Amino acid sequence: MEQRYEFYIRATPDQLWEAIVDPDVRARYQFGARTTSTWTPGAPIEQRTPDGAALLGTGRVVEADPPHRLVHTMVALWNDDVAAEGSSRVTWTIEPVGDSCRLDLVHDELRDGANEQLYGGWPMILSGLKTWLETGTVLTTPGSLMYS
């Protein structure tokens, strides 16, 4: 199964890339969770609660071509149901369009009927990313603030 999301964001490719890979910035739009990696092929990825106490997910960088494309695996660990789903893949593609960028996010290698928690948060996450880059403010939906 594949889920695809397309957003247009008023930012440069470099600004968008940095917002995806910087753990402090990413925490502002991804439920408050900190995602860390060196973002080089083969590097591990960890997603933790802001205090670092709970591991929410892991993965591995498959491909990194800054500021154009990032591919990584994802294993969600925030509850037993999503952990049972195993590994999936997330591909971020950044394409400049005038003074903005098109961000295409594909979450695939999901089993048919996969738990919606694996992919259902992407519209809120990507809306938070867009809000952060365009206004410098945090989207304050309840899900956006889950781990803050």
CB hemisphere CA count around 148 (13 angstroms): 18
The C-alpha atoms of residue 16 and residue 75 are separated, in whole angstroms, by 23
Taking CA 117 as the corner, what is the angle to CA 148 and CA 112, rounded to the nearest 5 degrees? 160
The C-alpha atoms of residue 110 and residue 100 are separated, in whole angstroms, by 30
pLDDT of residue 145: 65
Q: Where are the domains of the chain?
A: 3-139
**Does domain 3-139 correspond to CATH entry 3.30.530.20?**
yes
pLDDT of residue 139: 87
What's the predicted TM-score (pTM) here?
A: 0.94
pLDDT of residue 127: 95
Contacts of 31-39 with C-beta under 8 Å, sequence gap 24+, read 31/121, 31/125, 31/143, 31/144, 31/145, 31/146, 31/147, 31/148, 32/144, 32/145, 32/146, 32/147, 32/148, 33/146, 33/147, 37/61, 37/72, 39/64, 39/66, 39/70
On whether the CB atoms of residues 148 and 34 are closer than 8 A, the answer is no
Q: Collapsing DSSP states into helix, strand and coil, what is residue 104?
A: strand
Return the sign of the alpha-carbon dihedral for residues 35, 148, 90, 139: negative
* 109-126: burial string, b at 16+ Cβ within 10 Å, e else: ebeeebbeebbebbebbb
Q: What's the average pLDDT block by block, 10 residues per block, for the chain (148 residues)?
A: 97 98 95 95 96 96 98 97 96 98 98 93 94 93 68
pLDDT of residue 141: 78
